[in-house]
Amino acid sequence: MKTKRKTRRALAAAVCLLALAALGLLVWLAVLLVKSVTGAAGPDMRRLENVRAVELSASWSSYFAAGQDRAAQEAYLASTLDEAAAQGANTVLLTGRVREGTGAAAALFRSSTKDEAAPPLAAAVQENDRFLNRFDPLKLLLQEAKSRGMQVALLATDSAGNPIPDEGELPLWLTDAAKHYKLTVYSQTTGGSLGVRTYTAYSDAPDLLRLDADPGVLAAAYQLNPGRGLILGDLADLVAGGSNAAVLLSYVGGGELPALLEKQIPQTLAIVSPDPSVLAYGDEIFLIGTSDPSQPVTVNGQAVTYQGAKGVWGVTLPLEAGENNYSAVQGGQTVTITVRKGAGGGGAGAARPDGSVPAQWGQKLRVTATLASQLSQYNNDDSIAMTAYKGAVAEVANSVAFTRSNKNTYAYQLQNGSYILAKDCELLPPGTPDAAFTGASHSAEGNVEYLTFTGSGTPLYTHTWEGNVLTLNFYSASLNGQLPADFGFGGATVTSELGEHGFALTFTFNEVDPLWGYHVDYLDDGTTRIALKHQPLRSADPAKPLSGVTVMLDPGHGDTDMGAVGSPDPDFPQEKDLNLAASLAARYRLEQLGATVLMTRDTDVFYELGERVEMLNAAKPDFFIAVHHNSTALNKDATGLMGTECYWFYTEGKSLAENLVAGVTAATGREARGVFYNYFYVTRSNICPAVLLETGFVSSPQEYESCADPQALWAEGAAIAQAVLNTLPG
């Protein structure tokens, strides 16, 4: 009996041991399962720095509805993460209209909750989905992401694609699954002032920023709002090349942004415009000042018409003859300025001679200005037919006396029918010979080909440039010799033809290697050289698409030349300061994209317009952008005068001008005032697209605040860089 009892006890003990072992095994397996699931998510998004996410949209999820087998879907999940990593992403964002159970999120979630509305797994996969061989695509995605150091998150929208504002409105299956897999869930919120969409987490994870337009705008918003992540775009679009994540990452990968402005707008009571030393005209005057933005301001007892968030204000008041006193009052403070009204009329008295003399018929002149206008109407500065550069020699056919700026002067009519003003040239001694060329030699430097005439002379020229055909008409010049058969443009040709007053060269290029720009150099040794510039192309390096491209930036004004009137106070940001700041921001962005950037000035110095043009013609860049900020007359109410505009002279600059206005207005939220033809000194070059950009009005209290804001300046810089990229062929 005792033996049987011992046997039963031993058997019971063995069963208990086996049960305990089995229980232990189950616990161990459960722990492994929990670890495999909860540990699969990879880095915690609440602590993950520099989130770089790509979206997996509904188009991506269609693969799972197509009935592919398990092995194919496993391979597809792995390849998706590899493609995301190749775009520079460390996070994939599952998107979908979760209330309908559609999109990337729904395609991956199993029906593991009690919610009957949970989306089922694809039928083709379910066939091979057994208890001991369960296929959980989301779990697999998380495991594969973890192995790559990546993160998975979710963007939830309703059936209309709109954000779901309250976490309690999310479907039960989604909230259960998100908790089970430890996923961060995002909702899309409204865009900001720069047009950037923000994805906000229901948890304390960082916001994510997204933009469908120029990446430079997003870069500005991202870097000036630290602690946020970045959406690179939809993965399918990125892989197809519809968006350029590499460009965006090159923008934001530059580290800490340098300071742009030394001066800030002080929030103290002051009247900063107009300068009391300036005579004002008209019946009204527009005053600009600064103040404490939390308190109202009156001027001569009248409440200001506008007071901005940074305290800049503006008001229009009457302007009487003689001296006008204007007193601004805020709290217990008062400041006063005196403005004198001019008598008007000006220019009284007889015109005085300017020292010019008529030319003899056939006498030669030489252009002494850096550039002079060839006018179709001698008394109309708007009638520019062509530009004549310093050193050009031309023959005079007629002299016309007239009055200009209350001075008696002359205009000299040339053989081509146009006029050059006496102030822009000097008369040469009678008998000065024509230019005589015996051929031309070829040389090259970088992406510029040169034809240098053998012989001597610097003849005036005009041009026609239509499509791939450039014709240069040289006056008072002869060509008796051979031209190079090959001058560096594959398949291009050049022919010469005698003209009535000289000769013409006609260049015919092709679409494979088209002409980007040209310039006729008059060299110090008295000879002439034609510079022909190859078209720049986008680099093959997607992160440095502007490699090999040279951009010249020209920050307007400088030193004692303050620029447009926003504030004459030297302690306030002047137009010259804002021009330099925006240009420095643009240089930073352009260099991030691989460009070589030249600047006419990068400190507070001043150069004459002629000196800036000479820098342009000597450097021969691929793009030239003069950066300015706008203003208006003192007697005009500038409260609502705002916006961005850009000017071009030769049609080659129009596309760049359009891209600049579109980019700056998108980046800053300013009004697009348009692009315009005008004969600004610095835009009159054919060597490259050359424009003058007015980013905003410093004479407007609203826009002065914006123009002096570092975030807006960085946005301007990013937009300028992106405009160059958008204009670049290829």
pLDDT per position as a tens digit, 653-669: 999 999 999 999 988 88
pLDDT classification of 17: cutoffs 50, 70, 90: low
Percent of the chain with pLDDT over 70: 82
Q: Looking at residue 11, what is its pLDDT?
A: 60
Instruction: Compute the average pLDDT of residues 21-39.
Output: 49
pLDDT per residue over 102-128, tens digit each? Answer: 666 666 665 445 555 555 554 444 545
What is the Cα–Cα distance from 573 to 376, expressed in whole angstroms? 41
Of all helices (H) and strands (E), which one includes residue 613?
helix 609-619
Percent of the chain with pLDDT over 90: 54
Q: What is the DSSP letter of 561?
A: B
Six-digit token string for 214: 């120029």
pLDDT classification of 571: cutoffs 50, 70, 90: confident
What's the chain's length in residues?
730
User: Worst-scoring range by mean pLDDT, 209-213, 304-308, 723-727?
Assistant: 209-213
What is the Cα–Cα distance from 72 to 17, expressed in whole angstroms? 44
What is the Cα–Cα distance from 605 to 599, expressed in whole angstroms? 12
**Dihedral angle at the C-alpha atoms of 480, 484, 489, 492, nearest 10 degrees?**
60
Q: Looking at residue 568, what is its pLDDT?
A: 59
- All structural domains of the chain, each given as residue ranges with its CATH number in brackets, are 37-252 (no CATH), 270-341 (2.60.40.10), 357-427 (2.30.30), 435-534 (2.60.40), 550-727 (3.40.630.40)
Q: Looking at residue 35, what is its pLDDT?
A: 44
What is the Cα–Cα distance from 210 to 245, expressed in whole angstroms? 12
Of all helices (H) and strands (E), which one includes residue 531?
strand 528-534
pLDDT classification of 46: cutoffs 50, 70, 90: very low
pLDDT per residue over 141-173, tens digit each? Answer: 889 999 999 999 888 877 766 777 777 778 777
Six-digit token string for 642: 């705002």
User: Worst-scoring range by mean pLDDT, 94-103, 116-125, 601-610?
Assistant: 116-125
Strand partners, 522: 528
Please state, rounded to an integer, the average pLDDT across all residues of the chain. 85
pLDDT per residue over 463-484, tens digit each? Answer: 999 999 999 999 999 999 999 9
User: Worst-scoring range by mean pLDDT, 97-111, 218-232, 366-380, 685-699?
Assistant: 97-111
CB 461 within 8 A of CB 392: yes
32 compared with 691, residue with greater pLDDT: 691
pLDDT classification of 405: cutoffs 50, 70, 90: confident
261 compared with 6, residue with greater pLDDT: 261
Instruction: Compute the average pLDDT of residues 183-188.
Output: 82
User: What Å distances lie between residue 599 and 15, 63, 366, 608, 617, CA to CA?
Assistant: 87, 52, 30, 14, 13
| Vertex 423 angle, CA 417 and 426, to 5° | 80
The rounded Cα 59 to chain-centroid distance in angstroms is 31
CB burial of residue 359 (10 Å; 0-12, 13-18, 19+): buried
Q: Looking at residue 71, what is its pLDDT?
A: 79
pLDDT > 70? residue 426 = yes
pLDDT classification of 192: cutoffs 50, 70, 90: low
107 compared with 239, residue with greater pLDDT: 239
With a CB cutoff of 8 Å and minimum separation 6, the contacts of 449 are 442, 443, 487, 488, 489, 531, 532, 533, 534
Which candidate, 613, 323, 653, places its Cα nearest to that of 465?
Answer: 653
Q: Looking at residue 623, what is its pLDDT?
A: 98
Three-state SS at 316: strand
Of all helices (H) and strands (E), which one includes residue 245?
helix 245-252
Q: What is the DSSP letter of 280?
A: B
pLDDT per residue over 54-94, tens digit each? Answer: 988 766 666 555 556 777 778 888 998 999 999 999 999 88
Name the phi and psi angles at 335, rounded to 5.
-125, 145
Three-state SS at 665: helix
pLDDT classification of 236: cutoffs 50, 70, 90: confident
- Spell out a b/e string for 166-198, using b for 16 or more CB atoms within 10 Å of the CB, else e: eeeebbebbbbbbebbbbbbbbbeeeeebbbbb
Q: Looking at residue 328, what is its pLDDT?
A: 97
Q: Looking at residue 198, what is its pLDDT?
A: 82
